[in-house]
Structure 1
């Protein structure tokens, strides 16, 4: 319909028609941008976390793959921003990316026939939730992963049948998401499976497969040059070992002597992820450091899971259920989830040499973050009445699941992505409220698509004489 109108209406008329159709979202987007300006004014620098932020910055400075948890995808973005020597500018760009995610959600849903108010409502969480805005203001990879995954969905779902070029572009975006956070790598398999289910054809399938796998293979080769192992990271075994520490029973598993050294040794933590860092945990007592024993840890963890599958499943279900509580539950207890903007100051641990290195090489003004008045007090009082409580998040997933059933399955792909990104971190390591966030925009998309139903029907071309009749008013000549 839009292309037909463009062909017969003057350009000014088309612009006015488009503007009228998106006024609500334009107003919401302007408010979201104003909120981000307030955040930039309310804090004197970007939020930096030990150890994640400085690992990303160190990789950006030295351009080598990190041997532990973080692949280099986000560090490549930081490397592109390095000539400006400003983590504040990085935060500003990430705020723009956050707005872009909202625009992509809205655009896809309008393309799929959802009315403007419904598409706008689906974009509200990512535009206004303090948790998302705080991610944008931090040197963390989360917002990049969210933008890449939503961008891939946009390309795959823009047309009823995915063109080859868009399938390749979506595959590349998913590969970059996997190189930003390895938990996103299996999304490539889900996307390819979706193409098979939709009978998209051989060429789009092959285009996506090649565009997605070649960057991963190239990165694994680069990783092998530096660390002697063809992989994307060196922490998968350590993470899975920590996952098993909450239920492993070596009297049942009976591991061989080499692996038996990794059995629970009496150290008790209140969350699986805490075992990675607990100095008295069995893995951390081995010589050479925890990541030097990644392969041994993986072998032990797989043995425990195959010996105690029901115990493993029970732990995954129990921790995943924390995402659906009405009020966020601290997990682990030292990490208190918040649904507001913090107020105060947060100094850096200056004793770590890595901080001095990235300060010299990346941004001489790297420092702890503090609130700036009067903007900091305004942010602290910021009301978020649309806070997406965990129970409502569960309702969205349920609605998306219902929309994934049937012949057309309009919500299937975003719902599958959302469910995987929700459960996979728990299955591989532990629950974290921060790890739930990438699933929320996808759950909103899935629920909205379930309501929208089928894609927008094709409209017949509008003839010039019909436009003349419809636009003619009283007194027209």
Structure 2
């Protein structure tokens, strides 16, 4: 009977269901710490959905995205249509709340990819899980996920591209192609991601990944961007991804431009500073009294002229330009967080209570009619907001933490270039590029955190390996010295004695 029972148990244990259960248990044991972090992060996001029953819409961006999603025509203004195409997938459901729910899942996915790539590079489970906390448990990320904005889509795509490229030491043609496609989608979501394609190509060249791999990444990234540029040209008459690059760069120069130094031609001179003062470079785009906005036809009709003026200003005053970029970039390291522009709140350390009003936008009625009739002012709901408002994210984990992460990533890249180099350079680029092209905004800095966290975690591992190697070398040196001292004394005396006996025996 006992033998029969053991046989039955063995049969049950070998059943497919039991094997799957065993694998699941082993998987959970290996990653239980991160599983707990992910569970807490998921619970917080469920609370966000319950505490804020409708998604947040912004005064300009959200309505432009939804309008483009309905008509699928590239905007001639700030935004390429990548995020609008994402919204178009959900148009049949007529629900911005569903979009927010999917974006919350994407936020969890960002943390999962960070953890996976760090474990792939042999980091301990606790270290990889710790690196995901500034993303998974950050209220600023959760509030972005709950808004009809392109930020989370951008972050998800670029982190996915990083994961694909770093998954194996030898990057395959297939992986390079997928990473290129992901970066192209990121560039069509926000144009700031387009230069990342060049950064990834340069990384593969430095890694000596091979010509086929480099070409695969380049072609897979360039084809979608080129196709979009041709589509844009068919609607607006010029090959581009958006119609605002010149306007943005012109606004950047308004904080330092001196036309007595620049000496622009008469046509460009119309865009010189005219005495209008605002508290941030980006505010010049919207300031009614700014020189660009006084020209007939609207600001974006003069995009090419604005670009020409801005480039001339930068060539004439390069140090002033670099100084403004450095000054505005440094805002991200301030503690407590500083509002910039002043009308925009700095990242929240907690979840606020509502209600709020819908922003005044001429597209409101059109978007409600064509995309989601239930779009409403965001408000907070009890009892969920009472629970959620008790959650606190340490203020220290903003500016000072980011500075520390970047410093550790830089140190790790210096001692062992391969693991931390790509995420660190991507983090620095994503931090500086928006400021160089327009201005600093806390929203624009959010994509930096996942890359900085991955770079810092890999940097710690690299520094640890280097220190261990140095420690081993020092220990080996001490051991060799000790052995040499031993052989210099006792063995030498014994050898002299032996040789003496041998010589004596020969003489006899």
Q: Name the residue aligned to 1:119.
A: 128
1:273 is aligned to 2:282: yes
Where does 1:7-406 land on structure 2 (aligned, <5 Å)?
A: 12-337=21-346, 338-349=348-359, 352-385=361-394, 388-406=397-415
Unaligned runs of 5+ in 1: 1-8, 457-477
User: Is 1:435 paired with 2:444?
Assistant: yes
Q: TM-score, normalised by structure 1?
A: 0.91
**Structure richer in helix, relative to its length:** 2
From 412, 431, 449, the counterpart of 1:422: 431
How far is 1:14 from its partner? 3.5
Structure 1 residues 394 and 328: CA distance shift in structure 2, 3 A? same
* Secondary structure at 1:258 match in 2: helix
Distance 1:37 1:413 in 2: 33
Distance 1:392 1:146 in 2: 19
1:451 Cα deviation after fit: 1.6
Kindly indicate whether the alpha-carbon contact (under 8 Å) linking 1:174 and 1:185 is maintained by their aligned counterparts in 2. yes
Residue by residue over 1:405-430, the C-alpha shift from the partner in whole angstroms, topping out at 9 and shown as x without a partner, is 24543100001110000000000000
Which residues of structure 2 form unaligned runs of 5+?
Answer: 1-17, 466-508
Q: Per-residue deviation at 1:336?
A: 2.1
Distance 1:242 1:408, change over 3 A: closer
CA contact (8 A) 2:34 2:125 kept: yes
How many angstroms apart in 2 are the aligned matches of 1:233 and 1:274? 19
TM-score (norm 2): 0.86
Q: Which structure exhibits the higher relative contact order, with contacts defined as CA atoms closer than 8 Å and separated by 6 or more residues?
A: 1
Maintained 8 Å contact 2:349/2:392: no
Aligned equivalents of 1:13, 1:380: Cα separation in 2: 40
Give the Å deviation of 1:330: 1.0
CA distance in 2, matches of 1:444, 1:42: 29
The change in CA–CA distance for 1:407 and 1:15 in structure 2 (over 3 A counts) is same
- 1:379 Cα offset (Å): 2.1
| 1:454 Cα deviation from its structure 2 partner | 9.7
CA distance in 2, matches of 1:348, 1:287: 30
Pairing 1:410–2:419 present: yes
Q: CA deviation at 1:24?
A: 0.7
Counterparts in 2 of 1:455 and 1:184: CA distance versus 1, 3 Å: farther
Deviations 1:75-132 (A, max 9, x none): 1110001111100000000000000001000011011111111100111111110000
Larger Rg: 2
Q: How many residues are treated as equivalent by the alignment?
A: 447
For the 8 Å contact 1:348–1:368, the answer to whether it is kept is yes
Look up the SS of the partner of 1:353 in the other structure: coil
Determine the structure 2 residue equivalent to 1:469.
Answer: none
Counterpart contact for 2:108–2:136, Cα < 8 Å: yes
Q: Is the 8 A contact 1:54 1:354 kept in 2?
A: yes
Q: CA deviation at 1:184?
A: 0.5
Residue pair 2:416, 2:462 contacting (<8 A) in 1 also: no
